[in-house]
Structure formats: structure tokens, C-alpha cells
Structure 1
Amino acid sequence: MRFGITILPEYRWKDAERRWRKAEELGFDHAWTYDHLTWGGLQDSPWYGTTPTLTAAALVTSTIRLGTFVTSPNFRHPLALTREILALDDISDGRFLCGIGAGGGIDTTIQGGPELGPRAKVDRLTEFVELLDTLLTTDGVDHKGEYFETRNARTLPGCVQQPRVPFVMAANGPRSLRLAAKYGAGWVTTGRKADDLDSWFAGVTDLKHRLDDVVGDRPFDRYLSIDNGTYALSSLAAFEGIVGRAAALGFTDVITHYPRHDGIYAGSEDLLDQIAAEVIPQFR
């Protein structure tokens, strides 16, 4: 089992830097930040850009992998995103992971325009991922689709990680699961909304089985964001229990959130230290 932590992009860098450093010092395998223009859970909080945040994080760490949780077509064009991916992969010396999903929430309409329905979102995601894959592996790309266009898009120099940066694909529905299996190096899910932890895990189990049917026996990483039925860092026992259930289901990675002072994901950094020292080694 590998362990990840999400650090929300809400802090001035003088406060954020120590969190990214600490994530590495505590032995987390990967660290993430949200890729939103704003987030419904903290709409009245400060919020900083994803790419500058990850760039700064790459410069103060050396081993931990860094990723977007998750980027989407809501406000990104594949060509512009390609340039950011190339830079992040280079600056981090090949430690960047690109989490990708269909997108939702306030980002869908904050820049104007109609909100797409579920089918159209998956159509757009499919074109987004296919074009992004091409741009990261091919120089001089002409594309004219329903949602995106490029004209002789030059994408040199290419990724540090070959043939390209790994995609970790968020997917719940049949079409997006097939897309994840085709283009992803891994799959990530937050599960479905549920009233209690057992119901949430029942939904996670169903999704995991659906992915397994698509992927088969080939190696494929499976990431679970574990703070949706409850906040996993609410206690040592809660974290240990949730991770144990995820491991039993065959997840290769779990992701929690760095504790905040109040509100959503409120918790203790002392507990985070204890979990890193006592619980995480049990699942290595």
C-alpha cells in the first residue's frame, strides 16, 4: 500500500511550504492539490493556482510524487495544459502525476456558458484525454473536434517520464471507466455519496469490481480517496480501519487530506505524525 495526502491550495506559500516538506518527511509517497478555480466546500476561503503551487512544492521536495487532484476540461485546454505538464514534469525531475476527471462543481459555470449534462461531460472528457495523450507524445498536432482545436501544435521537448506523464483517471461510469483503462496508469475514486461509512464502502466495492472487469489482470494502480464517508484522520483507529478495508479490497494507494484548523478536514497534525509513525508502516 502507498499513501498520499492532499494539501489544499489555500495557504500563502510561507505557510504552505512546511506542509509540503512535512508530507515528504513523514514518508508519504505522493502529495496532491485540487485543480479548481474555486471549490464549493471552501468558496469563501483564499485559493491559489494549482500549477504555481505544484511548481513551488517540487522545488522544496526531492522524492515525493506530486499531482493534480484532479484536472478537468472545465477550464483547461489540452494544449495549454500540455505546456504546464511538461514544465511540472521537468521541474520535479519526473515526479509529476496528472490526475484527470470530467469535472464538476462551481468550475463548470464560473466562466460563463451552459453546464453540460453527464453524457456531454464524458464526451468532452474523452476528447480531452485523447488529445492530451497525443500532444504529450507527438509533435505537430492538428485536431478539430467538438470541444477542442489545435493547429500544428508543437509540443517539444517531451516529457521526462516516457512515453509521457502518467494519467491517474477519476471515473465512476462505464464509459469513463473504459477511458481510464485505456489511457490511465491508474484509477482514482472518491466513491459515491453515502450517509455512513459502510454504505460508502459498499459503493466503493461496486466501483472497484466494475473497474476490475474492464482492466482485467494487468497491472493497474487503484487509488482511493478515503475522506468521503468520514474524515479518516479523525482518529488513529478510524484511519487504521479505513486503510485496512481499502487494502482488503485491493487498492494500491489511499489518499487523505492534510488536517486543517477548522471546518472540513479539521484535525490534528500531532495525530498525522502518530499515524505516519505507527499505522502507515503496518501497510507497507
Structure 2
Amino acid sequence: MRIGIVLLPEHRWVDVEPRWRAAEEWGFDHAWTYDHLAWRSLADGPWLATVPLLTAAAVVTERIRLGTWVASPNFRHPVPFAKDIMGLDDVSAGRLLLGLGAGGSGFDADVLGAAVSPAERAERFEEFCHLMDRLLSQPVTDHEGSWYQAHGARMLPGCVQQPRVPFVVAANGPRAMATAARYGQGWGTYGPSLAGLEETGSAADQERWWAGLERLVERFDRAVVAAGRAPGDVDRYLSVDGAPVYSLSSVGVLTEAVERAAGLGFTDLVLHWPRPDGVYAGDERVLHEAAGRLAELRAVRPVPRTVG
């Protein structure tokens, strides 16, 4: 089990640089930041740009993989974004992971104009991934699609990682899962969205979430097979803080999450750096304790599946 951490882009670089260095020094396998223009309950607070932040993080680190959690077509066009990704892969010496998602409703979806319907969003995302795949895999690309055009789009000298930067495709619905199964070197999920969960999260809510996650895994296994691949061909990334109980509430909660995620076949677990209040609120002392036990956490025994 590889373990990664998300650092939200809400702090100036002079303040957050030590955290990126610490993530590497502690031994996390990957570190991520969100790719939004503004985000949910934090929309009216500080929120900085993703590509410059990851570029700076690449310069002050050497080993840890870096990624977007996740970039979407809500405000990204594949041609200029592919150029940025090629540059990030270069600066990081081939350590970039490209997390991609269809995007949702809200500020990101509206700020550049009218938002699209859920069906259109899924269609757009499929074309977005298809074109990103082509752009990052070949020197010159031409494309005429329903959502995007590219005329002689040049991507030279190409990615450090060949044939291109790995895609971690976030997907919960059937059409997005099909896209992930086709284009992803990894599948990402935040788990099921369940109605009626308590704000703070109860034990019953937590069990409902894990049961729903198990069903998502089974659906994705079927999508991978339908795409002509073996389930083991695609890495599995779980954004575990989609669960009702925050992963760094205690090391015990995190340990159980690692055990259960491993039992469901996840190869990678992604948690969030604690914030003082609001979303992902927690105590940094728990993060420090967990960081000191990463080797132990990676070696935990999986809890077997129960559904099906």
C-alpha cells in the first residue's frame, strides 16, 4: 500500500513550502493538490493556482511523486493544459501523476459561462481524456471533436515519462468508469456519496460508506474487464477522506482505513493534511504520529471483502 497526502492550495508558498518538504522527508509516496479556481466551503478564502504550486513543489523535492487531485474540463482546455503538464513532468524529472476528473457543479463549472448537464459533462470528459492522451503521447496532434479542436498542436520534446504522464482517472459513475478503464494507469475514487450521513460521521455511517465503496470496486472491476484489461492492470487510489470519519482523527482510524482499503484491492491511499477547522479539521500531532509509522501502515494485513 502506497500512502499519499493532499495539501490544499490555500497558503502562500513561503508558508507551505516546509510542508511539501516534510511530506517527502517523512516518506509519503505521493503528494497532491486540488485543481480548482475555488472550492466549496473555502470558496471565499485564499486559493492559489495549481500548476505554479506543483512546479515549486517539484523544485524543492527529489523523490516524492506529485499530482493534481483532480484536474477537470470545467475550466481546462486540453491543448494548453497538456503543455503545462509536459512542463511539470520535465521540472519534476518524471515524478508527475495526472489526476483527472469530470468536474462537478459549482464555481468552477459556472465561472467561464453556462454549466453543462451531467450527461454532457460525461461526454466532454471522455473526449477530454482522449485528447489529453493523444497530445501527451505524440509530437503533433489534430483533432475535431464535439467539445474540442486541435490543429497541429505540438508537444515537443514530449513527456519525460513514456509514452506519457500516468493518468489517475477519478470515476464513480458508469460512463466515467469506462473512461478510467480505457485511459487510466490508475483509478481514483472518493467513495460513495450517501444521503443522510451525519455531519460528524457515526460508526453506522462509516460502515455504510465502506459497504458502498465495495460495490464501487466491483463495478470498476467489471468496467476494466469490459475495456479488455485485467483488473490488476490499473492501480487503485482511494481518497479516504470522502468517508464520514476523517482519516487522521486518530492513528487507529487511519490504520483501519489502510486495512480495509487493502482488502478491497486499493494500491494507494490518499489522505488530507489536517486543517485547524472546517473541512478536514484535525490535529497535526496525529499526522506527525502517522508519518512516523508509515512503514508499519504499509505492512498492515488487509481486511477481506464482505460484499458479494
TM-score by length of 1: 0.96
**CA shift in 2, pair 1:124/1:43, >3 Å:** same
Q: Which residue of 1 is the match for residue 2 of structure 2?
A: 2
Q: Which residue of 2 is the match for residue 134 of structure 1?
A: 134
Separation (CA, whole Å) in 1 of partners of 2:212 and 2:71? 23
Separation (CA, whole Å) in 2 of partners of 1:260 and 1:50? 19
Unaligned segments of structure 2, at least 5 residues = 198-204, 225-229, 300-308
> Is 1:239 aligned to residue 254 of structure 2?
yes
Q: Which residue of 1 is the match for residue 207 of structure 2?
A: 198
Separation (CA, whole Å) in 2 of partners of 1:172 and 1:55? 29
- Count of residue correspondences: 283
Q: Which residue of 1 is the match for residue 111 of structure 2?
A: 110
Letter in 1 for 2:276: H
Letter in 2 for 1:227: D
Map 1:1-284 → 2, pairs under 5 A: 1-104=1-104, 105-113=106-114, 115-194=115-194, 195=197, 196-215=205-224, 216-229=230-243, 230-278=245-293, 280-284=295-299
**Tell me, what secondary structure is at the counterpart of 1:227?**
helix
**Equivalent pair of 1:5/1:255 in contact (CA under 8 Å):** yes
How far 1:279 moved relative to its partner?
A: 5.4
How far 1:44 moved relative to its partner?
A: 1.7
Q: Which residue of 1 is the match for residue 304 of structure 2?
A: none
TM-score by length of 2: 0.89
Unaligned segments of structure 1, at least 5 residues = none
How far 1:283 moved relative to its partner?
A: 2.1
Letter in 1 for 2:182: K
Letter in 2 for 1:96: L
The root-mean-square deviation of aligned C-alpha atoms, in Å, is 1.2
Once the two structures are superposed, what CA deviation does each residue of 1:148-167 show, in whole Å capped at 9, x if it has no partner? Answer: 11111111110000000000
Percent identity among equivalent residues? 53
Separation (CA, whole Å) in 1 of partners of 2:295 and 2:122? 36
> Which stretch shows the higher mean deviation, 172-181 or 15-24?
172-181
